[in-house]
Amino acid sequence: MSKQYGFYYDAGRCIQCRTCELACKSTHNTEPGVKWRRVTETWSGSYPDVTRTFFSLACMHCEKPACVEVCPTGAIRKRVEDGIVVVDRDKCNGCQDCLPACPYGVPQFGKDGKMQKCDFCTEIGSEPACVASCPAEALYSGTLDELLEMTTGKATKRMDGTTKPSVIIVS
């Protein structure tokens, strides 16, 4: 889908400063315990030969979103115009079936029990707050074509996955 929008993430530049987490949190005023974007980390090796890598995760806005397939009320849909996956909280019945279905653990649930997650800042109609905020220039957004064409001098590729996540990563 040439109009598929998504994120570009450069793990080599991400410093886990959490600016993206807080930009998202304060823009959308998500409640305590709910993070539409979070920076995870993976350790490997053993001291002193350890490695520590980060991943800034929001929603992958997958080409074949498992959450949409599994949702019994049709509350989750993939927008035709830009491929962004959004949830209508009025239609959501709080069954949480989407959570185990998503390979990335994206769906979040707050006090009202309804699913909520990254909507690419489409509801507020702006560039994703996380992307605008990143001080390390590790995070970008755009159509997948645009992101693949970005001249960073680095080899990039689309992230692998059965649900075809709309994320370009540095390989």
Partner 1 sequence: MKESPINRGKLCPKAYASVQWLYSPQRLKYPLKRVGEKGEGKFERVTWDEALNIIAVKLQEQKEKYGPESLAVLSPQHRTYKDYFIRFLTVHGSPNYGHSGICAMQRAFSFAYTMGTPMASADYEHADLIIVWTANPVYAGTPMGTIKRILDAKERGAKLIVIKPEMQPDAAKADMWVPIRPGTNAALALAMLNVIINENLYDAEFVSQWCYGFDKLVPHIQKYTPEWAEPITGLPAYQIREVARLYGKAKSACILAGNAFDQNIDSNNAVRAVAILIAISGNLDRPGGNIVPMGSTMPLLKSIKPWERYTKDLIDKLVGPEMPTCFQPFIEGASSAYYHCLNSVLTEEPYPIKAIIAPGTQPAVITRNSKMVVEALKKLEFLVVIDVMQNSSMPWADIVIPVTTMYECDHPFEAPPMGMGHWIMARNKVIEPLGDYKSDYQFWLDLAVKMGYEKDFWHGSIEECMNYQLENFGMTIDELRTHPTGIMYQPKPMVYEKYNEIFAATSSRISKAPYLPQGKVAIYNTTFEEQGVNPLPEWVEPPESPTGTPELLAKYPLVFFDTHTSDVYNHGWLRNIPYLRESQPDPWIHIHPDTAKARGVGDGDWVIVESPHGWIKVKALYFPGIRPDTIMGLHGWWQGCDELGLPGYPLLDGGANVNILYNTDPKKAFDPLVTAMPKQTLVEVRKAENIV
Give 135's DSSP letter.
T
CB of 35: closest distance to partner 1 in angstroms? 8
169 in contact with partner 1 (CB under 8 A): no
**42 token code pair:** 């993976």
107: nearest Cα among 47, 158, 66: 66
| Cβ-proximal residues to 10 (8 Å cutoff; 6+ apart), any chain | 137, 138, 139, 152, 154, 169, 170
CA 68 remoteness from chain centre: 15
Interface residue with partner 1 among 116, 133, 141, 166 (CB under 8 A) is 133
Site mask for partner 1 (CB under 8 A), range 36-75, x = bound: -------x-xxxx-xxxxx---------------------
Interface residue with partner 1 among 13, 114, 158, 164 (CB under 8 A) is 13
Report the residue number, 95 or 136, with the smaller CB distance to partner 1.
Answer: 136
Interface residue with partner 1 among 1, 22, 70, 99 (CB under 8 A) is 22
155 in contact with partner 1 (CB under 8 A): no
SS3 content of the chain, % helix, strand, coil (to 5): 20, 25, 55
Interface residue with partner 1 among 5, 6, 7, 25 (CB under 8 A) is 25
